[in-house]
Amino acid sequence: MFRRLKEILFILALATAQHGMAQTKAPLVLAAASLQESLTKAADMWAAQGHAKPVLSFAASSALARQIQSGAPADMFISADEEWMDAVQQQGKIKAGTRRSFLSNQLVLIASGTQKGQMAIRPGFPLARALGGGRLAMADPDAVPAGKYGKAALIKLGVWNSVADRTARGESVRAALAMVERGIAPYGIVYATDARASAKVRVIDLFPPNSHPPITYPIALLKDAPSAEAEGFRQFLLSARGKAIFRSYGFTPR
């Protein structure tokens, strides 16, 4: 009987340990590419508090939204625009009550560090002439948020038609940044935070905020998120401490 009791106690202890491991499973976060440095820092700080370190997957919001729509398992989605979060929510993939727009950003025109000259962004500014024989690097304007914001701004400023067939389209805003860093394109359109993260490019000018839709980052838990840590991490990102991290990387908390 004593041996049987030990077996029962062992089974209960094992079950408790397994349950604890399940409860501390690291959340999988699908996040817009522009959040790489800031969200990685936030995840490190969260883990330093004794939590399981979140697993971060960065890509264009459009690509991540399509993964979610196709059934990819994840705990959290952070988009660089409202439209892709809307698309995911409309398919019933978002956990009710967890969506929140918590960050904003700015759009800038950048040049490689070796590119000379200045240019003020205003209606009809000579972007096409400045490109010379080169191309304008930007995230895909038909799908990726940064590219959509950039296209909207150039249309509003009356410049899009002169450069539409001279764009080098990247799969994400970081791909557009990389093209300028490597000298593949003389100019590019990225977020201010992307330009700040690179020592190889310089900001030419800031696009007027009224030239494009507001740049907002919504965050939400996905329905049936498997990690019990996901909500805690979401709350941490929305907290004063989390906002301070994003602010230090150039974002504006909302």
* Per-residue pLDDT at 26 exceeds 90: yes
Q: What residues have CB less than 8 Å from 56, skipping those under 6 apart?
A: 29, 31, 39, 40, 43
Instruction: Count CB neighbours of 68 within 10 A.
Output: 21
pLDDT tops 60 at residue 180:
yes
Rounded Cα–Cα distance for residues 3 and 130 (Å): 83
* CA 160 to chain CA centroid, nearest Å: 25
- pLDDT-based confidence at 249, cuts 50/70/90? very high
Residue 220 CB-density burial (10 A; 0-12 exposed, 13-18 middle, 19+ buried):
buried
- Tokens at residue 90, please? 């409309």
pTM over cut 0.85: yes
Mean pLDDT score, 6-14: 34
Would you state the structure tokens that stand for residue 23, as one six-digit string? Answer: 């409860």
Cα–Cα separations (whole angstroms), residue 219 to 30, 123, 150, 188, 215: 10, 34, 22, 27, 13
In this structure, are residues 147 and 183 in contact, taking their beta carbons and an 8 Å threshold?
no
pLDDT at 25: 87
- What number of residues does the chain have? 254
Q: What angle do CA 196, 201, 205 make, to 5 degrees?
A: 75
CA angle centred on 44, ends 147 and 70, rounded to 5°: 45
Query: Residue 65 corresponds to which amino acid?
Result: A
